[in-house]
C-alpha cells in the first residue's frame, strides 16, 4: 500500500530583509511537524520559500542602489542559509520571481478575469505602504494601520478587482461546516465575526503605482497584487496549471497544512479560499495561525531594532538548543517570550541536566559496572512498572499532541519521561546496588530499563532535535528504532559524550553584550 501523503507549507518570507527569530520559528515548527510525519511513515512534501515582489522591496532596492532582482537574490540566499543553518528539512525552496511561477500567476489572473471574478474599476482608499494593504476607515485602529500601527495615506488608482462578494456565503458556510479548517479554533470565530460576516468588499488585485511585480498580460501597466502572487505559490510550484495540472499536483494537492503566523490568517482563510474556488480547485485541509515569538515581551520588528537572529543564537547556543527553546516556549496558542536569560536557563535545566545528564550517567554506569554490555536480566520490581508503562505510552501521547498541532506539549511529554527516568535513578540507587554482589542482575535490569527509556525518547526527539537524537543513538549504539519497550536489545560499546555543556550565565551574558 502506498504511504499516506502529507503536504505542509510555511508562509513565504518577505525578502525585505534578514528574517528574525520570529520568522525562523515558523520554519522550525514546520520542520518538526514534517519530520514527525515522516517518522510516522507519511510521504511528506514540505515547501517553503520567499515572497519577493511589491513596492516595499522596490523601495528598499532603490535605497541600496541595486536592482530589485539583485536585492531579492541576496536576501533570498540569506533566508535559505538561515533555514539550512537551523537544520530544516524542506523539500523545495520556492521564489515568487521564478519564471515558471510568474507565468502561472499570469494565467491564473486571466482565468479569473475570463470567469468574471476579476473586473476593472477604480480604487480609492487608505493605503499602508509597509504592509501593502488598502484599508477602510472602519478597519483602522486609532486612525492607523491595524496590522503595523503606522500612518496610512489616501490613494486612488485604476485597478482590477476580485469579486470576493461572490463567495461570501459559500465561505461562511464552509468555515462553519469545517471546524478544523481554521486552527486554533479561537481564530475561526475572529475571522467569521470580525471580517467575513460584516461583509466582504471586493479586493483590489492589481497595482499601477509601482513596477516590481508580475505584469498583468491583458493590461501590462498593471502588476499583480502581491498577495494574489504570493498565495498561489502553494499550487504553482507543484504543477498547477489552468490549462491542465501535472501528476505532481494531483498527488500533493490539497495541502494538508498551511502553517502561517496569526497576522496573516485573514489572507489565508478569506482571500485564498475564494481564489481557489474561482479556479475550481479544492481548499487546503487546514490553516494553522501560530502565535508570536516576542523578545523581552515585545513584538519583534526588523525596523524596531530589537531583532534577534537565529544564526547568531545558533552560534552562541547551538542549533538544537535554539530549536528546543522556541518549540517549547510556544507550546500552542499563546505567544512566547525569548530572552537570553531564559534561553540559558532552559538549556541548562532541560537539555544539560534532564536530558544530557541522564544519558551520560546511564552510559557511564553501564560502562563502569558491566564493561558496557547490558541486557535485560528481568529482575523486575514494582518501581519499574510505572517507568515501563510511561515508555510504552509515550508514542501515543506524543501523537495525540502532534495531531492537534500542540508541538510544545508533545515535547513536554518526552521531557516528562526523561524527568521520570532521572527520578527512577534516585529511586533505584544503582550505586548502592553495585556494592552488593547478589544485586548485579537487578542493577543490570535497572540500567536496561533506563537505556530503553533513553532510546524511545531519543527516537521521538528526532523531529524536534534531529542532531541530538542522532548523537544519542550513536552513543547508545543501537539500531532498534521501535517506539515501545523492547525486551531483546543488547547494549554494548557505548561511548558517553557531553550533549549540552552547562552554560555559565554571567559569562555568556557578558559575551553577548561584548559582541552586540
Contacting residues toward ligand ME8, per CB under 6 A? 11-14, 22-23, 25-26, 51, 230-231, 260-261, 263-264, 292-293, 300
Residue whose CB is less far from ligand ME8, 226 or 398? 226
Minimum distance from CB of 407 to ligand ME8 (Å)? 13
Nearer to ligand ME8, 249 or 292 (CB): 292
Q: Which is nearer to ligand ME8, 322 or 494 (CB)?
A: 322
Closer to ligand ME8 by Cβ: residue 267 or 277: 267
List the beta bridge partners of residue 93: 48
Q: Which C-beta is closer to ligand ME8: that of 51 or that of 384?
A: 51
- Chain centroid offset of residue 457 CA: 21
Region at 388 (left for phi over 0; alpha for psi -120 to 50; beta for the rest): alpha
Q: For residues 404 and 334, give the distance between their C-alpha atoms in angstroms, rounded to a whole number.
A: 15
Burial 299-335 (b: 16+ CB within 10 A, else e): ebeeeeeebbbbbebbebbbbbbbbbbbbbbbbbbee
Cβ at position 471, least distance to ligand ME8 in Å? 28
- Output b/e per residue, 371-398; b: 16+ Cβ within 10 A: ebebbbeeeeeeebeebeebbeebbebb
Q: Crossing angle for the helix pair 68-85 and 55-64, nearest 10 degrees?
A: 100
For residue 205 the three cell numbers come to 488585485
Q: How far is the CB of 79 from ligand ME8 (least distance, A)?
A: 9
Residue nearest to ligand ME8 (CB): 261
C-beta closer to ligand ME8: residue 295 or 362? 295
Q: Shortest approach of ligand ME8 to residue 455 CB, angstroms?
A: 33
How many residues would you count in the chain?
516
Q: Which of 232, 236, 261, 268 is nearest to 249 (CA)?
A: 236
Shortest distance, position 314 Cβ to ligand ME8, whole Å: 17
CA–CA separation, 312 and 226 (whole Å): 31
For the bound state, the minimum distance from the C-beta of residue 172 to ligand ME8, rounded and expressed in Å, comes to 23
Closest contact distance (angstroms) between CB of 301 and ligand ME8 is 8
Q: Cα separation of 67 and 56, whole Å?
A: 13
Which of 287, 323, 319, 300 shows the shortest CA–CA distance to 22?
300
Please, what is the minimum distance in Å from the beta carbon of residue 368 to ligand ME8? 46
- Among the residues of 178-263, which ranges form H helices? 185-190, 226-231, 233-236, 247-252
> Smaller CB distance to ligand ME8: residue 224 or 433?
224
Closer Cβ to ligand ME8, 118 or 287, answer by number: 287
H or E segment and range at residue 125: strand 118-128
> Which CB, 313 or 391, lies closer to ligand ME8?
313
| Minimal distance, residue 303 CB to ligand ME8, in Å | 12
Minimal distance, residue 26 CB to ligand ME8, in Å: 5
Q: Which of 42, 44, 35, 52 is nearest to 86 (CA)?
A: 35
* Other residues' Cβ atoms within 10 Å of the Cβ of residue 123: 19
Nearer to ligand ME8 (CB atom), residue 25 or residue 317: 25
Distances (CA, A) of 516 to 305, 323, 424, 511: 12, 22, 43, 9
Cell, residue 450: 533506563
Amino acid at each position: 500500500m502506498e504511504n499516506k501523503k502529507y503536504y505542509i507549507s510555511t508562509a513565504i518570507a518577505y525578502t525585505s530583509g534578514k528574517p528574525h527569530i520570529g520568522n525562523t520559528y515558523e520554519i522550525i515548527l514546520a520542520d518538526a511537524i514534517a519530520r514527525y510525519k515522516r517518522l510516522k511513515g507519511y510521504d511528506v512534501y514540505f515547501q517553503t520559500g520567499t515572497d519577493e515582489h511589491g513596492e516595499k522591496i522596490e523601495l528598499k532596492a532603490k535605497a541600496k542602489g541595486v536592482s530589485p532582482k539583485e536585492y531579492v537574490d541576496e536576501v533570498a540566499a540569506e533566508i535559505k542559509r538561515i533555514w539550512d543553518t537551523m537544520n530544516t528539512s524542506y523539500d523545495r525552496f520556492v521564489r515568487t520571481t521564478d519564471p515558471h511561477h510568474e507565468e502561472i500567476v499570469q494565467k491564473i489572473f486571466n482565468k479569473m478575469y475570463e470567469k468574471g471574478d476579476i473586473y476593472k474599476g477604480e480604487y480609492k482608499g487608505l493605503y499602508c505602504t509597509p504592509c501593502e494593504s488598502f484599508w477602510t476607515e472602519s478597519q483602522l485602529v486609532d486612525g492607523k494601520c491595524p496590522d503595523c500601527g503606522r500612518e496610512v495615506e489616501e490613494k486612488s488608482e485604476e485597478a482590477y478587482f476580485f469579486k470576493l462578494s461572490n463567495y461570501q456565503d459559500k465561505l461562511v458556510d464552509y468555515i462553519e461546516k469545517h471546524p478544523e479548517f481554521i486552527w486554533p479554533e479561537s481564530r475561526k470565530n475572529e475571522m467569521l465575526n470580525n471580517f467575513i460576516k460584516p461583509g466582504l468588499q471586493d479586493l483590489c488585485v492589481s497595482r499601477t503605482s509601482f513596477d516590481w511585480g508580475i505584469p498583468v498580460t491583458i493590461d501590462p501597466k498593471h502588476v499583480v497584487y502581491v498577495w494574489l502572487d504570493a498565495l498561489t505559490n502553494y499550487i504553482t510550484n507543484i504543477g498547477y496549471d489552468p490549462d491542465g495540472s501535472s501528476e505532481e499536483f494531483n498527488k500533493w494537492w490539497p495541502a494538508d497544512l498551511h502553517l502561517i503566523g496569526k497576522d496573516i490568517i485573514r489572507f489565508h482563510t478569506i482571500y485564498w479560499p475564494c481564489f481557489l474556488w474561482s479556479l475550481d480547485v479544492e481548499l487546503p485541509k487546514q490553516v494553522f495561525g501560530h502565535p508570536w515569538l516576542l523578545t523581552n515581551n515585545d513584538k519583534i520588528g526588523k525596523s524596531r531594532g530589537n531583532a534577534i537572529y537565529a544564526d547568531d543564537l545558533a552560534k552562541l547556543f547551538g542549533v538544537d538548543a535554539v530549536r528546543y527553546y522556541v518549540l517549547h516556549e510556544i507550546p500552542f496558542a499563546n505567544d512566547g517570550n525569548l530572552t537570553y536569560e531564559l534561553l540559558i536557563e532552559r538549556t541548562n535545566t532541560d537539555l544539560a541536566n534532564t536530558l544530557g545528564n541522564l544519558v551520560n550517567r546511564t552510559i557511564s554506569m553501564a560502562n563502569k559496572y558491566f564493561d558496557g554490555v547490558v541486557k535485560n536480566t528481568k529482575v523486575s520490581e514494582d518501581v519499574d512498572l510505572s517507568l515501563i508503562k510511561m515508555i510504552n505510552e509515550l508514542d501515543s501521547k506524543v501523537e495525540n499532541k502532534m495531531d492537534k498541532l500542540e508541538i510544545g506539549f508533545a515535547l513536554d511529554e518526552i521531557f516528562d519521561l526523561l524527568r521520570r527516568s532521572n527520578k527512577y535513578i534516585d529511586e533505584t540507587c544503582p550505586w548502592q546496588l553495585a556494592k552488593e554482589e547478589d544485586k548485579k542482575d537487578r542493577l543490570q535490569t535497572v540500567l536496561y530499563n533506563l537505556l530503553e527509556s533513553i532510546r524511545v525518547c531519543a527516537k521521538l526527539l528526532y523531529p524536534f532535535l534531529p542532531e541530538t537524537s542522532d548523537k544519542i543513538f550513536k552513543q547508545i549504539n543501537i539500531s532498534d528504532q521501535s517506539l515501545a519497550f523492547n525486551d531483546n536489545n543488547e547494549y554494548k560499546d557505548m561511548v558517553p559524550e557531553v550533549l549540552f555543556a552547562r552554560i555559565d550565565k554571567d559569562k555568556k551574558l557578558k559575551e553577548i553584550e561584548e559582541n552586540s
